[in-house]
Amino acid sequence: MEYKKRNVWNLDDIRLLVTSILRHNKKMEKVGEELPHKTYKELIIFFHMFKKVLNLKEALKNCNQS
């Protein structure tokens, strides 16, 4: 039950995760510092579940080119 309560992602969490991933180039240790209320495992699971939906790979590629 505790895990389910913690695993809720609100819009602010998602925005912060995406901007942090782009800023830190998928270095989840750094991303986790910006989302201390999420576990490393939660960050990884969310990233892998939604990277295609949120088009994160393309966004990362564009950030690295500029």
How many other C-beta atoms can be found within 10 angstroms of the C-beta atom of residue 38? 19
Q: 19 to each of 16, 48, 50, how far by Cα in Å?
A: 5, 16, 14
What pTM was computed for the model?
Answer: 0.71
Dihedral (CA of 13, 14, 15, 20) sign? positive
pLDDT at 66: 58
Amino acid identity, position 38: K
| CATH numbers and ranges of domains, the chain | 2-65 (1.20.58.1880)
Q: What is the pLDDT of residues 42-55, one digit of tens each?
A: 999 888 888 888 77
